[in-house]
């Protein structure tokens, strides 16, 4: 009788083998799931803390404005605007004064042409007494702007406008100290003056372009003259207007300017809080200003002062109703 075949596989019952294989597969599966679960738990979460549905903030994404409000910058204080400086405006003076020495001087009040006339006054008594002569009526001249005198006072000349047309510059002169006068072209060719066309004339009838609106003219010599501009600037030329030096700043209240013996200029300044009258200032060749003293003449209206230094050094001042003079460059009067 043939032997009976065994149903075991490898000496193990089939049911037991399948159970062992199933258990092994389950164990492997458990291990795999455990590893996957561990990796998921330790992997960084993308976009953690974001509201679901919001776009991802990757490094290549366009930056968006932070939802946190940045601190509001405190506005800087607004500067309080400074007070606007009042523009300086100097009118043309209607007074003319020229001194020959400590005793003799000539003066005039310049009026409008043709009705303003031309009356010249002169003194040989340091201003105690004045004689008057009407050159406007006799010579047909008006609006005098300059009076020139020699060192001895016997020769005197003046420049104004012809009353016939009020546009022709006209010269007159006297060889008798102002007693008698005649028309002459000499004053025009020998002097500085403001021409009717708005320019300046230098000796030799040289036309000089005015550096500004000139309201005061202070001749020194053939080449040199100073001017006051309508805006208060003081200017000076030493080459008949080829170049001009300008004061460092406008001079408020300047009302007269005259040449100073030895160089520079004297100026009369009104409306000064520190002087009840006229402050006398000096300007050097660079037009640096130094205030020297106060001539206590009382209140003076703009355009009513005139200043002149004689060849002997006497400084004359005509201010308001007062005529005073100084022997020490205006330090005392």
- For residue 31, what pLDDT is reported? 55
CA dihedral 35, 37, 39, 42 (to 10 degrees): -140
Is the omega angle on the peptide bond into residue 7 within 30 degrees of 0, that is, cis? no
Bridge partner list, 315:
309, 326
DSSP letters spanning 103-120: S-EEEEE---TTTT--EE
Identify whether the C-beta of residue 88 lies closer than 8 Å to the C-beta of residue 252.
yes
Name beta bridge partners: 156. 149, 174
Average pLDDT, the chain: 83
Positions in the chain short of pLDDT 50: 1-12, 14, 41-82
DSSP state, residue 33: H
Say what the pTM is.
Answer: 0.74
Token digits for 183? Answer: 């028309």
Residue 320, CA distances (Å) to 101, 297, 304 in order: 21, 8, 6
Instruction: Give SS3 for 239.
Output: coil
Domains of the chain by range and CATH?
95-326 (2.130.10)
Tokens representing 77 are 């204080």
Q: What is the pLDDT of residues 286-302, one digit of tens each?
A: 999 999 899 999 999 99
Q: Note the residue count of the chain.
A: 333
- Measured CA to CA, the distance from residue 182 to residue 139 in angstroms comes to 7
Rg value, the chain, Cα: 51
Report whether 175 contacts 181 (CB < 8 A): no
Q: Please, what sign has the CA dihedral across residues 47, 48, 49, 53?
A: positive
pLDDT at 67: 39
With beta carbons less than 8 A apart as the criterion, state whether 333 and 323 touch. Answer: no
Task: Specify the residue for token string 């020959």.
Answer: 100
């Amino acid at each position: 009788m043939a032997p009976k075949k065994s149903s075991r596989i490898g000496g193990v019952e089939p049911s037991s083998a399948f159970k062992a294989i199933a258990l092994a597969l389950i164990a492997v599966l458990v291990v795999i799931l455990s590893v996957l679960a561990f990796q998921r738990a330790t992997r960084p979460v993308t976009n953690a803390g974001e509201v679901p549905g919001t776009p991802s903030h990757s490094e290549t994404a366009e930056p968006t404005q932070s939802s946190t409000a940045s601190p509001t910058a405190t506005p800087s204080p607004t500067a309080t605007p400074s007070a606007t400086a009042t523009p300086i405006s100097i009118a043309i003076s209607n007074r003319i004064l020229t001194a020959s020495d400590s005793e003799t001087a000539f003066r005039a009040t310049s009026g409008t042409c043709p009705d303003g006339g031309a009356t010249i006054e002169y003194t040989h008594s340091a201003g105690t007494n004045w004689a008057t002569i009407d050159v406007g009526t006799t010579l047909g001249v008006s609006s005098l702007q300059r009076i020139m005198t020699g060192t001895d006072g016997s020769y005197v000349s003046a420049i104004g406008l012809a009353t016939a047309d009020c546009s022709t510059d006209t010269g007159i002169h006297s060889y008798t100290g102002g007693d008698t006068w005649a028309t002459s072209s000499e004053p025009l060719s020998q002097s500085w003056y403001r021409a009717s066309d708005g320019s300046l004339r230098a000796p030799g009838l040289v036309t000089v372009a005015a550096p500004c609106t000139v309201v005061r003219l202070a001749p020194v010599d053939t080449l040199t003259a100073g001017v006051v501009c309508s805006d208060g600037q003081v200017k000076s030329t030493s080459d008949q207007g080829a170049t001009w030096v300008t004061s460092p700043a406008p001079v408020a209240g300047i009302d007269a300017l005259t040449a100073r013996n030895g160089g520079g200029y004297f100026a009369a300044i009104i409306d000064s809080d520190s002087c009840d009258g006229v402050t006398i200032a000096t300007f050097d060749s660079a037009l640096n200003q130094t205030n020297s003293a106060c001539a206590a003449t009382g209140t003076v209206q703009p355009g009513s002062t005139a200043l002149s230094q004689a060849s002997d050094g006497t400084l004359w001042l005509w201010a308001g109703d007062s005529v005073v003079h100084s022997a020490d460059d205006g330090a005392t009067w």
